[in-house]
Amino acid sequence: MEHLDEISVEELQDALDNVDGKKPTQRLLAAIAYKNGVTQTELAEWYDVQRRTIYNWLKRLNTDESLEQAVSDDKRTGRKRKFSKSQKEKFEETVHEPPHEVGIDAPAWTPALVQEFLEETYGVEYSIPSCRRLLKEAGLSYQKPRRSAADADEDEQEAFHDKLKKSGGKWTPP
């Protein structure tokens, strides 16, 4: 690669002392190894990446900016939030109360209920997994309801279990 001819191994090693983070370090180490005769194919195997990735790492060094800047990624801001910080705080306060407090006839908040609430209240659309994440960020956890025989008579339950034991685990209706 022609552009690495202008950069010495010593310059790469000096830059290595001045970078932070895994990616910039990997990129400089790959460049040093390349300057010492390791092929792009071998580097790709070492780092478990495509050969094209190694090529791009080395190509980044063909710039007028410092080596430290060349191997570092620009800050990524990510997607803009769908609702403001104050709206999120209000939402979190809301889900810590039962749904009937905001006029919803439901026993508890579910991701589907949150999805509907957010669309109606704030005019924003979230997927079910995102609603799960929002509930988790609000400090809530999803719990599946357990089945219980709440209305069953304890004496009848005990009689059933005794009958089941006597029959060797085979239950037949009366």
Domain that holds residue 114: 85-137
Confidence band of 133 (pLDDT split at 50, 70, 90): very high
Give percent of the chain with pLDDT exceeding 90: 30
71, 93, 124 — which closes off a domain? 71
Q: Who's near 17: CB < 8 A, 6+ residues apart?
A: none
Burial class (CB in 10 A: 0-12, 13-18, 19+), 144: exposed
Q: Residue 76: inside a domain, yes or no?
A: no
pLDDT digits (tens, 9 = 90+) for 87-122: 889 999 999 999 989 898 888 899 999 999 999 998
User: According to the model, what pLDDT value does residue 48 have?
Assistant: 92
Nearest Cα to Cα of residue 32 among 49, 63, 53, 57: 57
Same domain flag for 43 and 97: no
Phi, psi dihedral angles at 158 (to 5 degrees): -65, -40
Same domain flag for 66 and 89: no
What's the domain count of the chain?
2
pLDDT digits (tens, 9 = 90+) for 73-84: 777 777 887 888
Question: What's the chain's average pLDDT?
Answer: 84
Q: Who's near 170: CB < 8 A, 6+ residues apart?
A: none
CB 134 within 8 A of CB 114: yes
